[in-house]
Chain A
């Protein structure tokens, strides 16, 4: 099984790079071959990735999220799966070009630096912790998608305002659909983040006294509040348009800042556990 894992680990970044190029050819040239093959090729790559994650779990006998690079691996897979679901639902594959570079980089980082180990901290084997990290991965993936759609919304909004009827105008989904995709993905991300916070708190309440003082926990609550505000504006107050999408983007930026700052500058129990 080791050789299969090694092969898939090397192959996946290459496959994602090829898928990205294929989506690029479709976006810029509307090439019939790329149009026909982009989705099936990505779906096949995602299937190979899923197989890799399953084999990794069987081989090392723990859920494959015990280190940052293992998290990258699962987040990359979650991103692709959520993206494929959205692409099929919306019938528009022009956003793949913007999603896949990040998937490729996550998988590349994971494949290059990943060093799965059989010996992990005993508390990381707790099923509740598995639910917590799984929800985090799916939540981050959905927030990332929401941010990409939000940026594309801003690009199309600007193209319409400045009357530039180029590729952005022609290829992206409509402004209304982009807004719905942004907020839909944000809602999915918010739901998983809520689960992640709930599972994490339930798991940490006995094992880690004073966990609420952890910087990552505090930042996560801030991110949760920002996304919550943008979702209430959209779904409850029926607000749409640039400002609501902008608020979701702010949530994503804060989330990125929280990940970077808590890993680099603000020590806490998340770092101690390798997350």
Chain B
């Protein structure tokens, strides 16, 4: 068992000082040590976090952590804030703390205080930015996040990998135990089902990917096509990177400032060409994307007509995302030349987003199904030891009483007595067993019920091996 003491600069991390820490906090046991010992989930799942839905992005930035920082913070968060297990998911759209605690109310308050203390000033995070869950709601939220339903762009796939990274970091920091492992594994399963059984991740939802999609609708695979990107700014670079992933036969970057074209071309293994050479290339390339700030049109109908004449009936796709537009709209009259602008790309993106949104009810149905399975498994895991203890206690009492009175029965009647008492115990225990196994959506209530049942049946004094302590 890992009992290595780890210390960090508390001023930097914003955590309680060593002096304020509860006794024994200097030593950090590995995550889920208590529960791992007996195979029983002891604590409740807790969650607190802020996302793009509750918090403006400039505020969210104040509580965003890189992987290295998360790795440093995790052990401290766990011990100082009273969590048995903890993982942190921090992306540009959310910072979320997933934990396991035997005292959820206290732990949630502690984590909230810690998050609020991380930033100061007008851009600091406020209590109303934070959302809090405990019990099964944590699992439901984790499933929604991993499957992309909760994302700014519904159905985006990156979040699934980021959730896996969050768990990986927690494991590396030794703050992930059996409960979080189970939670993240279930979230992973749920998101895989959602992505394979619904269309929530389908369709291009960014301008750059919509441009590639448009090109693929005309040419199919782009591996034998030649692409020209006119411009070297952020938009052009983003589009160029998307096109580059399609492995085109050739790619050219052109820009008024030639050095910038060269820089981008070098990054993408493309060829840089001067801006005034663009027109001559129109005869040989298949896709041209314009993304410049040129106030004058770079391609008029006349220049394009002349340039495409040698290409015969081969199709040419022009995508103009510049403002003001770089391509004369009359170019779309030329046969086999397709001209599309930013509004067309936006239309594609909006249609795809609407299509993804329509898939949410189907995805939620899958998540409900997965959540039921997850809760059933947890309930069984939580109730199992109690049921075992209860059976053993009743069996011990039964056996003792039978042995006490057995001599008063004839030899041939003894098996009947054995069977009768056994049946009696089973029948008396049937109803309590059903109640104990009963599924409760509220995990805290479930744990309280189990604790009450343990006390009601006088099992508090029994250790996990089923032996009375006295």
A residues touching B (Cβ–Cβ < 8 Å)? 30, 32, 156, 160-161, 163, 165-166, 169-170, 173-177, 238-244
Tell me the minimal C-beta distance from B219 to chain A in angstroms. Answer: 5
From 323 to 339 in chain B, residues with beta carbon under 8 angstroms from any chain A beta carbon are: 332, 335-336, 338
CB neighbours of A160 from chain B (8 A): 217-218, 338
Instruction: Give the residue of A156, A166, A177, A242 whose beta carbon is less than 8 angstroms from that of B336.
Output: A242
Contact status A174-B197, CB under 8 Å: no
Residue in B219, B338, B340, B347 whose beta carbon sits within 8 Å of that of A174 in the complex: B219
A239 to B313, CA, bound (A): 6
**Complex partner residue of A243 from B218, B313, B338, CB under 8 angstroms:** B313
A161-B332, A241-B313 given as contacts; is B220 within 8 A of A176 (CB)? yes
Q: Is the pair A239, B216 in contact by a Cβ cutoff of 8 Å? A: no
| Chain A residues with CB under 8 A of B340 | 163
Q: Are B338 and A161 in contact (CB under 8 A)?
A: yes
Kindly identify which residue among B197, B216, B219, B336 contacts A32, using a CB–CB cutoff of 8 Å: B197
Establish whether residues B313 and A163, one from each chain, have CB atoms under 8 Å apart when the complex forms. no
- Residue B245 CB within 8 A of the other chain: no
Q: Of B332, B335, B347, which is within 8 A of A165 by CB?
A: B347
A165-B218 contact in complex given A30-B199, A240-B313, A243-B313, C-beta closer than 8 Å: no
Contacts of A239 in B (CB 8 A): 312-313
CB <8 Å contact, A241 and B220 = no
Assess whether B344 is in contact with A163, with CB atoms less than 8 Å apart.
Answer: yes
State A184–B314 Cα separation when bound (angstroms).
17
Pairwise interchain contact A176-B332, C-beta atoms closer than 8 A: no
Residue of A nearest to B216 (CB): A174
> Is B396 interfacial (CB-CB < 8 Å)?
no
A179 to chain B, nearest CB (A): 9
| Complex CA–CA separation, A176 to B340 (angstroms) | 18
| Whole-angstrom CA separation of A242 from B219 in the bound complex | 14
Say yes or no: A241-B218 contact (C-beta < 8 A), given A160-B338, A161-B332, A163-B347.
Answer: no
Closest 10 CB pairs of A and B: A174-B220, A241-B313, A241-B336, A177-B220, A239-B313, A176-B219, A176-B220, A175-B218, A240-B313, A165-B348
Given contacts A161-B338, A165-B348, A165-B351, contact A175 B315 (CB under 8 A): yes
Nearest-CB distance from A245 to chain B (Å)? 10
Contact among B203, B220, B315, B332 for A240, CB-based, below 8 A: B315
Judge whether A176 and B315 touch: CB under 8 Å. yes
Shortest distance in angstroms between A58's beta carbon and chain B's nearest beta carbon? Answer: 44
Distance to closest chain B CB from A193 (angstroms): 25
- Interfacial chain B residues near A242, Cβ < 8 Å: 313, 335-336
Most buried by A among B315, B340, B351: B315
Cα–Cα, bound, A30→B355 (Å): 11
Known: A161-B338, A165-B348, A241-B335. A173 touches B314 (CB 8 A): no
Residues of A close to B313: CB separation below 8 A: 239-244
Pairs A–B under 8 Å by Cβ, sample size 6: A156-B217, A169-B217, A174-B217, A175-B217, A242-B335, A242-B336
Whether the pair B314, A240 counts as a contact (CB closer than 8 A) is yes
Q: Kindly list chain A residues whose C-beta atoms are within 8 Å of the C-beta of B199.
A: 30
Separation of A161 and B338 alpha carbons in the complex (Å): 7
Task: Find the A residue at minimum CB distance from B341.
Answer: A163
Residues of B within 8 A of A170 (CB): 203
- Whether B220 pairs with A173 at a CB distance below 8 angstroms is yes
Q: Give B238-274 as 1s and 0s: 1 = Cβ < 8 Å from A's Cβ atoms.
A: 0000000000000000000000000000000000000
Q: What is the CA–CA distance of A193 and B336 in the complex, to the nearest angstrom? A: 31
Chain B residues, CB < 8 A from A241: 313-315, 335-336
Instruction: Apart from A175-B219, A238-B312, A240-B315, list 8 A-B contacts with CB within 8 A.
Output: A156-B217, A160-B217, A174-B216, A176-B218, A239-B313, A240-B312, A240-B313, A242-B336
Q: How far is the CB of A177 from chain B (nearest CB, A)?
A: 5
Give bound CA distance, A163 to B312, whole Å.
23
> In this complex, what residue of B is CB-closest to A233?
B313
Inter-chain contacts of B314 with A (CB < 8 A): 240-241
B-chain residues with CB within 8 Å of residue A243 when the two chains form the complex: 313
B219 contacts across to A, CB distance below 8 A: 174-176
For B347, the closest partner residue in chain A by CB is A165
- For A32, the chain B residues whose CB sits under 8 A away are 197
Query: Taking the nearest CB of chain A, how far is it from the CB of B454, in angstroms?
Result: 46
Task: Give Cα A239 to B311, complex, Å.
Answer: 10
Residue of B nearest to A160 (CB): B338
Most buried by B among A165, A169, A175, A177: A165
Chain A residues with CB under 8 A of B315? 175-176, 240-241
The answer for the CA separation of A198 and B293 in the assembled complex, in Å, is 63
B218 and A174 form a contact (CB under 8 A):
yes
Q: A75 to nearest B CB, angstroms?
A: 30
Separation in Å of the A240 CB from the closest CB of chain B?
5
Q: Which residue of B lies closest to A90 (CB)?
A: B220
Cβ < 8 Å to A, chain B residues 288-326? 312-315
Contact with A along B12-44 (1 / 0, CB 8 A): 000000000000000000000000000000000
Per-position 1/0 for B217-230, Cβ under 8 A of A: 11110000000000
Nearest B-chain residue to A175, judged by Cβ: B218
Q: Shortest beta-carbon distance, A112 to chain B, in Å?
A: 40
Closest beta carbon of chain B to A201's beta carbon, Å: 35
Q: Which residues of B contact A173 (CB under 8 A)?
A: 220
Most buried by B among A32, A176, A244: A176
**Which one of A165, A166, A240, A244 lies within 8 Å of B344 (CB-CB)?**
A165
**Chain A: which residue is nearest B332 at the CB level?**
A161
Q: In the assembled complex, which residues on chain B have CB atoms less than 8 Å from the CB atom of A177?
A: 220
Cα-based distance from A30 to B332 in the complex (angstroms)? 32
For B216, B220, B338, which residue has the most chain A Cβ atoms within 10 angstroms?
Answer: B220
Q: State the Cβ distance, A92 to closest chain B Cβ, in Å.
A: 10
> With the chains together, A176 CA to B217 CA distance in Å?
8
State in angstroms the CA–CA spacing of A160 and B335 once bound together. 12
Residues on A with C-beta less than 8 A from B220 are 173-174, 176-177
Cα distance, A1 to B170, chains bound together (Å): 70
Question: For residue B217, which residues in chain A have a CB less than 8 angstroms away from its CB?
Answer: 156, 160, 169, 174-175
List CB contacts (< 8 Å) of B186-227 with chain A: 197, 199, 203, 216-220
Which residue in chain B gives the minimum CB-CB distance to A237? B312
The distance in angstroms between the C-alpha atoms of A177 and B219, with both chains bound, is 7
Chain A residues, Cβ within 8 Å of B216: 174
A176 to B286, CA, bound (A): 12
